[in-house]
Chain A
Amino acid sequence: MSTLFQDIRFGLRMLAKSPGFAAVVVLTLAIGIGANTAIFTLVHAVMLKSLPVGNPGELYRVGSDENCCVIGDFQDNWGIYSYDLYKQFRDHTREFSELAAFEGGRDNLAVRRAGNSEAPQPYIGEFVSGNYFQMFGIGAFLGRLINPDDDRPGAPPVAVMSYRAWQQNFGGDPGIVGSTVTINTVPCTVAGIAPAGFYGDRLESDPPHFWFPIMAEPILRGRNSLLKHPEENWLYVIGRLQPGARVATVQAKLTAQLQHWLAAQPNVEASDRPNIPKQQIALVPGGAGVQQLQYYAKDGLRLLAVLSGLVLLIACANIANLLLARAAARHGETAIRAALGAARWRMIRQMVTESVLLALLGGAAGIYVAYGVAGAIITMAFQGARYVPISAAPSNAVLGFALLLSVLTGIVFGAAPAWFNSRVDPAEALRSAGRGMVERGALTRRSLVVVQVALSAILLIGAGLLTRSLRNLEDQQFGFAPEGKLIVRINPALAGYTPEKLGALYQQLEPRLRLIPGVLSAAYSQYSPMQGANWEDSIQVEGHPPDERIYASFVRVSPHYFETIGTPLLRGRVIGEQDTPTSPAVAVVSEAFARKYFPKDDPIGRHFGLETPANVRNYEIVGVVADAKYADPHAPVHPFFFLPFLQSPKGEPDYMVRSQYAGAIELRVAGKPENLQAVVRRTLADINPDLTVLDMMSLEEQVGRQFNEERLISQLTALFGLVALILACVGLYGVTAFTVARRTNEIGIRRALGADRRSVLSLVMRGVAWQVGLGLVLGIPLALAGAKFLGSELYAVRSYDPLVVAGAAMVLIACTIVASLVPARRATKIDPMVALRYE
């Protein structure tokens, strides 16, 4: 052990003696280890961490599908349930010690503290079963949590507030517990404060501020309630298994219960009944809760982990090269050690100890880099979010990872130089310094540069493909014009509007908003493009057989809607003032709808209806508009139809009443949309002080948020590519400079024999060209092979895009030429007389 301390002491002394070398290596490692530790910070926080609850390993989720938020159809692989189904599972599955349900979606709330005259503030809420907190094994920070007594019909509504909301929005006032707050105009008692750090049943941005018992759902939602709709699935279910319960047995039991329950439901369509035996439930570990974020983030994180790993490999190759050059300079010392009886393993250990010391210093610096990078990634990935329960601060696991990675890195980049340097002839100790020294590891050094160039080519091509893909995504034709539009998110239900009162509100909205100076046109709709919402239903189309399963998405829109968002009318007319609750029900369809369901006919004047054949003539098509993307910017356009507000033809399903609530106001404005925010708030408050603005942003920003992940991955890949390029150039510079120094004598002889500067330059640059060329020859096929795995991340760009490949190669060649020109020019200036005296 004492000899190990000697090695460490000597290693530290050597580093102190060469602070420039140590600084370059530590900085390089800080980038390499930092990038990887940053990605691991996110992988750990997102993919590996359990919910902050008691014994998360005992939790199991009923269902593995991440579908959200209200589903009326068979799911095949079920993951979300109605309240009736939850009760069925809870009351008939004794293998669970606790089985809790909670809402799949999120509820926007308008909250005002009792006695406060200010406008209600927007918050986020979630309905949970009475045993929710008990099942998670957590206690209140203050007051009490929701219990089964709160979740009985007729119980007065109570709420539990998150610790963060209590601290940030209510100043940590303990008097809030037991007091009344008005939620969506309904008085509600705050029962207690959830423990600090508890963010609910899933990792997500902007987690709930309030939790309510499920039985309070009809009180807070009124006629939009889902509680008594067994056909509507809106609750996720997680439970704690009894000791000894077998997962496979419970899973089979749950599936059997589901199938029996479905068979007993009178409203299941006859055409669906043959599919009942195919309906399945998987019981999956639920320690991490509902894993929607994990589901969507895993591919991106995997890609970033690979890319950051490549950066670290390049960094290792770079440092190995530096160490090889340094080892050559310390060759004499190694020969002396060998002459004095140092075993080879002992010399290797001493040199690897130095490398590991460097790596540990780099790792320590890398933790700071990781903290910054992880924080930046979180900000970029969740652009627009007010809070994300993911910390960039290094946890014990992250610190352990950084330590392990540092040691491994030290061994990886230190092993080859140590191996070469330890292959020393001890008899060289008898010779004078410098005499008889041969250039060792030259091939290895050049090979390492080739590897760096190849890896850099992979990263640069990847960055090029992803950047092009992002540009294609952002520049695509959305079917509307995002520029100069302001989107205002509202929910009249939160202000106490019943469906009957909506007409009065809508009559005021458009005229009042249009009068705001700078507003060119105003409209409102059920939801706006790229808002993240999608209403889809099965329809019956005139001329199509009743048993044909046809699905289309729909949006209710106000007059002036298409004009405001910039979707062109192709045929017929748009929804207008004449489309009132008492006028015949009409619809406007998208081009894709017309093309798909009326491929040969004129759709104008044709009819369709929702769900049942009896409704087939409910809506008359009066116009066709251009296709527009509403939900997924990556996917092809979807058939859409647009309905006026407040029309409700006979036979329309009950849930359609929820679609009558406008969720977004669209304003086409002159100038910057953001400038109108204050006046829009004032105008809405004038219409109704309880009408809470849930969010407000330009349509460009709303669209831009759809590309958060793509932008993040593209920018990080470009950053990694840039780092790789710099490291490759530094590596090439180092090797070229070292080679020139070693060949000083030879070059001097050549110069003495008549070689001009151009031929010396050519001599040096030929070596560079070989290394870069070979690196590209290896790197480009590898990049193209790897790009196939990028397929799902790419939009409208081929994985072998020749422009990207050529561009990356040109950048790499140009940069490496610049990097190697400095030592090459130095070679041309070697004085033959000086060189011939050089030893």
Chain B
Amino acid sequence: MEPTTQSKPPAPGNGGTNGHTLIHLDGVTKVFFTDEVETHALSGIYLDIRRGEYLSISGPSGCGKSTLLSILGLLDSPTDGKYTLNESPLEALSISDRTRIRNREIGFIFQAFNLIGDLTVYENVELPLTYRGMPGSERRQRVQEALERVGMSHRVKHYPAQLSGGQQQRVAVARALVGKPSIMLADEPTGNLDSKNGEAVMELLRDLHREGATICMVTHDPRYADFAERTVHLFDGRIVEETRA
């Protein structure tokens, strides 16, 4: 591990891995307004994520990890600063454009899996593709590939409630990668799993990264943070440290 600290914008190319910059955050802040109280969730985040990189974000509870992930995932928008994805600025996009980009460029893996209980495994994985308007035959092929990739192709007709937590998270991973997104964002992907299943999911993510996937993972568990090539540490809404594997 090679600890560094970051309080200024990183130099272009800084990131620790080879490849082009996929995401560039430039002075991103997020302030929540509740009545007359301002809460600064993020205060000037400068961050590059390169294509093919495996990055983890860590920090104590309330440091802004989830807010940062929401902004990276276009689930929320920054109060200030610039967000560039694939060299396209995203701050001024309409809601429908953000929805479209989220669907095509970003795959989510949630701590609570967030599979839809009334859809089968197959349908859950297929869901992002249906929102994309992809033809049925292509959807079938993609879903099959994704489920085979995570070792869940034998459970296509099962409902989430019929699966173990580890299996559910593998389905969630399949759902995240089925759309071939530019980046997969994982929010505490092992948070609801026991250690054995947690390890298995982390191995799966590492394998996907080795195959070329870009992954950004929020975790507070140092064991799992070590799976990433680079870890940024947040504290009080700022990146206070960056370490590389």
Interface residues of chain A, those whose CB is within 8 Å of chain B, are 2-3, 6, 10, 13-14, 17, 332-333, 336-344, 346, 425-427, 429-433
Which residues of A lie under 8 Å from residue B117 when comparing CB positions?
333
B131 adjacent to A17 (CB under 8 Å): no
Whether the pair A6, B112 counts as a contact (CB closer than 8 A) is no
Closest to B181 in A: A341
* B interface bracket (residues with beta carbon within 8 Å of A): 20 to 34
Which residues of A sit under 8 angstroms from B99, Cβ to Cβ? 338, 341-344
Taking the nearest CB of chain A, how far is it from the CB of B156, in angstroms?
15
The answer to whether A341 and B118 touch (CB under 8 A), given A3-B133, A346-B131, is no
By a CB distance below 8 angstroms, the chain B residues around A346 are: 131
Contact partner of A429 among B75, B96, B123, CB < 8 A?
Answer: B75
A-B contact pairs, 30 of them (CB 8 A): A2-B135, A2-B136, A3-B130, A10-B118, A13-B118, A14-B118, A332-B114, A333-B116, A333-B118, A336-B116, A339-B108, A340-B102, A340-B103, A340-B131, A341-B103, A341-B132, A342-B131, A343-B96, A343-B100, A343-B131, A344-B96, A344-B99, A346-B131, A426-B102, A427-B76, A429-B75, A430-B66, A430-B70, A430-B110, A430-B111
Given contacts A10-B118, A342-B103, A343-B96, 14 further A-B contacts (CB under 8 A): A332-B114, A333-B118, A336-B114, A337-B127, A339-B108, A340-B102, A340-B128, A341-B99, A341-B128, A342-B127, A427-B70, A429-B114, A430-B75, A432-B112
CB distance from A332 to the nearest CB of B (A): 8
In whole angstroms, what is the CA distance A430 to B106 when docked?
14
Any chain A CB within 8 A of the CB of B187? yes
CB distance from A391 to the nearest CB of B (A): 43
Which residues of B pack against A, CB within 8 Å? 66, 69-70, 73, 75-76, 95-96, 99-100, 102-104, 108, 110-112, 114, 116-119, 123, 127-128, 130-133, 135-136, 175, 187
Q: Is the CB of A340 within 8 A of B118?
A: no
Shortest Cβ gap from A831 to chain B (Å): 28
Question: When chains A and B are docked, how far (Å) is the Cα of A10 from the Cα of B108?
Answer: 22
Which residues does chain A contribute within 8 Å of B66, judged by CB atoms? Answer: 430-431
Nearest neighbor of A347 in chain B, beta-carbon distance? B131
Please indicate the chain A residues that have their CB under 8 angstroms from the CB of B100 in the complex.
341, 343
Bound together, the chains give a CA A333 to CA B119 distance in angstroms of 11
A-side contacts of B103, CB under 8 Å: 340-342
A344: which B residues are within 8 A, CB to CB? 95-96, 99
Which chain A positions have C-beta within 8 A of B104?
341
| Nearest-Cβ distance from residue A762 to partner chain B, whole angstroms | 29
Query: Is B116 a contact partner of A337 (Cβ separation < 8 A)?
Result: yes
Q: How far is the CB of A192 from chain B (nearest CB, A)?
A: 62
Interface of A is mostly: helix
Q: Smallest CB–CB gap between B219 and chain A, Å?
A: 14
Q: Which residues from A are CB-within-8-Å of B96?
A: 343-344
For B114, list chain A residues within 8 Å (CB): 332, 336, 339, 429
Identify the closest chain B residue to A343 (Cβ).
Answer: B99
A433 to B102, CA, bound (A): 22
Give every chain A residue within 8 A of B131 (Cβ-Cβ). 337, 340-343, 346
- Complex alpha-carbon distance, A346 and B96, angstroms: 11
Q: Nearest-CB distance from B102 to chain A (Å)?
A: 5
B18 CB, nearest partner CB in chain A, Å: 29
Residues of chain A within 8 A (CB-CB) of B132 are 341
User: Smallest Cβ distance from A327 to chain B, in angstroms?
Assistant: 14
The answer, among B75, B111, B128, for a CB contact under 8 Å with A426, is B75
Give the residue among A14, A17, A336, A338 with the most B Cβ atoms within 10 A: A336
Measured between beta carbons, the chain B residues less than 8 angstroms from A426 are 75, 102
**Bound-state Cα–Cα, A261 to B66, Å:** 97
The answer to whether B187 touches A340 (Cβ under 8 A) is: no
Question: Across the two chains, which residue of chain B brings its CB closest to A334?
Answer: B116
Q: A340 CA to B73 CA in the complex, in Å? A: 10
- Cβ contact within 8 Å between B116 and A341: no
Q: Which residues of B contact A14 (CB under 8 A)?
A: 118
| A372, B119: Cα distance in complex, Å | 39
CA A342 to CA B104, docked complex, whole Å: 11
- Cα distance A432–B114 in the bound complex, in angstroms: 9
Instruction: Give the docked Cα–Cα distance between A426 and B101 (Å).
Output: 14
**Complexed CA–CA distance, A429 and B107 (Å):** 13
CB distance from A3 to the nearest CB of B (A): 5
Task: Give the docked Cα–Cα distance between A426 and B131 (Å).
Answer: 15
Report if A340-B75 is in contact (Cβ < 8 Å); known contacts: A430-B66, A430-B69.
Answer: no
* Whole-angstrom CA separation of A297 from B88 in the bound complex: 69
Question: What chain B residues lie within 8 Å of A425 (beta carbons)?
Answer: 75
Give complex CA distance A341, B131 in Å: 7
How distant is B93 from chain A, measured CB to nearest CB, in Å? 13
User: Which residues from A are CB-within-8-Å of B133?
Assistant: 3
Name the residue of chain A whose CB is nearest to the CB of B191.
A432
A471 CB to nearest B CB, Å: 54
B102 touches A341 (CB 8 A): yes
Q: Which residues of B contact A432 (CB under 8 A)?
A: 111-112
* Cα distance A2–B102 in the bound complex, in angstroms: 22
Q: Give CA–CA (A342, B132) in the complex, Å.
A: 8
Instruction: Sort A-B residue pairs by CB-CB distance and give the 9 closest, nearest first.
Output: A341-B103, A427-B75, A427-B70, A426-B75, A336-B114, A340-B128, A342-B131, A2-B136, A341-B102
Report whether B116 and A6 are in contact in the complex, using a CB–CB cutoff of 8 Å: no
Given A17-B118, A336-B116, A337-B116, does the pair A6, B130 have CB atoms closer than 8 Å?
yes
Q: Is the CB of A339 within 8 A of B102?
A: yes
Q: How far is the CA of A427 from the CA of B95 in the complex (A)?
A: 13
Distance in angstroms between the alpha carbons of A2 and B116 in the assembled complex:
19
Chain A residues near B135: list those with CB within 8 A.
Answer: 2
What residues of A have a CB within 8 angstroms of the CB of B116 in the complex? 333, 336-337
Asked if A339 and B112 make an inter-chain contact with CB atoms under 8 angstroms apart, the answer reads no
Judging by beta carbons under 8 Å apart, are B118 and A433 in contact?
A: no
Q: How far is it, in angstroms, between the C-alpha of A69 and the C-alpha of B125 when the chains are bound?
A: 76
CA distance A341 to B99 in the complex (A): 5
If A2-B136, A6-B130, A346-B131 touch, does A340 touch B76 (CB 8 Å cutoff)?
no
Distance A421 CA – B129 CA, assembled complex (angstroms): 22
Chain A residue numbers with a CB within 8 Å of B128 are 340-341
CB distance from B160 to the nearest CB of A (A): 11
Which residues of the partner chain A approach B75 to less than 8 Å between Cβ atoms?
Answer: 339, 425-427, 429-430
With both beta carbons as reference points, the residue of chain A lying nearest to B67 in the complex is identified as: A427
Docked pose: A383 CA to B215 CA in angstroms: 79
Closest to B175 in A: A340
How close is A56's CB to chain B, nearest CB, in angstroms?
A: 49
CB distance from B48 to the nearest CB of A (A): 23
Chain B residues whose C-beta falls within 8 Å of the C-beta of A2 in the assembled complex: 135-136
**Which chain B positions have C-beta within 8 A of A10?**
118-119, 123
Question: A8 to chain B: closest CB distance in Å?
Answer: 13
CB distance from B188 to the nearest CB of A (A): 9
In the assembly, what is the distance between CA of A131 and CA of B207, in Å? 93
Shortest distance between the CB of B97 and any CB in chain A (Å): 10
Task: With CB as the reference atom, state the residue of chain A lying closest to B188.
Answer: A430
How far is it, in angstroms, between the C-alpha of A366 and the C-alpha of B114 when the chains are bound? Answer: 38
**Cα(A17)–Cα(B100), bound, Å:** 31
Tell me, rounded to whole Å, the shortest Cβ–Cβ distance linking A424 to chain B.
11
Alpha-carbon distance between A10 and B159 when the two chains are bound, in angstroms: 13
Q: How far is the CB of B207 from chain A (nearest CB, A)?
A: 23
B187: A residues at CB distance < 8 A: 430
Name the distance in Å between B161's Cβ and chain A's nearest Cβ: 12
Residue of B nearest to A333 (CB): B116
Residue of A nearest to B136 (CB): A2
Cα–Cα distance between A425 and B67 once the two chains are bound (Å): 13
* Cβ-closest chain B residue relative to A16: B118
Q: Is A340's CB under 8 angstroms from B127's CB?
A: yes
Residues of B contacting A340 in the complex (Cβ-Cβ under 8 angstroms)? 102-103, 108, 127-128, 131, 175
Docked complex Cα distance between A819 and B112 (Å): 39
- Bound Cα distance from A92 to B128, whole angstroms: 78
Kindly report which residue of chain A lies nearest to residue B120, judged by CB atoms: A13
B-side contacts of A332, CB under 8 Å: 114
Contact B118 A429 (CB under 8 A): no
Q: Which residues of chain B are within 8 angstroms of A333 by Cβ–Cβ distance? A: 116-118
State how many angstroms separate the Cβ of A425 from the closest Cβ of chain B: 8
CA distance A614 to B103 in the complex (A): 101
A337–B110 Cα distance when bound, in Å, is: 13
